[in-house]
Amino acid sequence: MKQKLLAEFLGTFILVFAGTGAAVVNTVTHGAIGHAGIALTFGLVVLALIYTFGDISGAHLNPAVTLGFATAGRFSWNQVLPYIGVQTFGAVAASGLLKYLFPDGGTLGATLPAGSASQSFILEIVLTWFLMQTVLSVSTGAKEKGITAGIAVGSVIAVEAMFAGPICGASMNPARSFAPALVSGHLASLWIYLLAPCIGAVIAVPLHRILRGNES
């Protein structure tokens, strides 16, 4: 269990450091990376992390994914809070380091709605539903591992960030949104990114069972 928790801490740290770090660097360099570059950074780092930590902890890296696996009966509910705890701690540590490195980094990559709260809330539910649907289809038990999982999950994250990022931020991950919001002090819309991804992940479970039947 200690190895699993350390893997989730390190994995989520790297995810937030690289992903939101791309957004911070884009801000301080006045657009050198661009939106497409940020989206690809998120997708590629998740792909790499699945290969690195998938066989240890499952490479959840996301409280919503952990909740989805538990709802699907693939993951022990007793391990949900420890996983979410270290994921959140890893994310906050990454945002804290980014704040230290880039004190003028603005929102530190926090996810903020460009339009109405309801628009971003619905988008985050749909985005996380499709992400979790993919995760359930390519994972073994509660573990995202193997060539298929890395490519599929990383691609979904990159694509969803590419088209929905300018509107809702395409978080799909409560820890990824909580950390920069907390460290930068932009907490007003945080509820969207804590609640909507969890709803989307849970919705994916019964749909996966209907589609896959006994395979789920």
- 140 DSSP β-pair partners: 143
C-alpha R_g of the chain: 16
For the chain, what is the total number of helices (H) and then of strands (E)? 8, 0
Task: Identify whether the C-beta of residue 204 lies closer than 8 Å to the C-beta of residue 136.
Answer: yes
Q: Which CATH number is correct for 2-215, 3.90.550.10, 3.90.700.10, 1.20.1080.10, 1.10.730.10?
A: 1.20.1080.10
pLDDT of residue 146: 73
For residue 57, the SS3 value is: coil
CA-CA distance, 66 to 48, in Å (whole number)? Answer: 19
pLDDT of residue 214: 59
pLDDT of residue 144: 77
Phi-psi region at 102: left, alpha or beta (left = phi > 0; alpha = psi -120 to 50)? beta
pLDDT of residue 216: 55
CA-CA distance, 63 to 198, in Å (whole number)? Answer: 8
pLDDT of residue 175: 98
For residue 189, the SS3 value is: coil
pLDDT of residue 121: 98
Assigned token pair, 202: 């849970």
Neighbours of 148 (CB within 10 A): 13
pLDDT of residue 215: 59
Give me the residue spans of the domains in the chain. Answer: 2-215
CA-CA distance, 216 to 44, in Å (whole number)? Answer: 27
Which residue positions in the chain have pLDDT lower than 70? Answer: 214-216
How far is Cα of residue 105 from the mean position of the Cα atoms in its chain?
21
For residue 104, the SS3 value is: coil
pTM (2 decimals)?
0.94
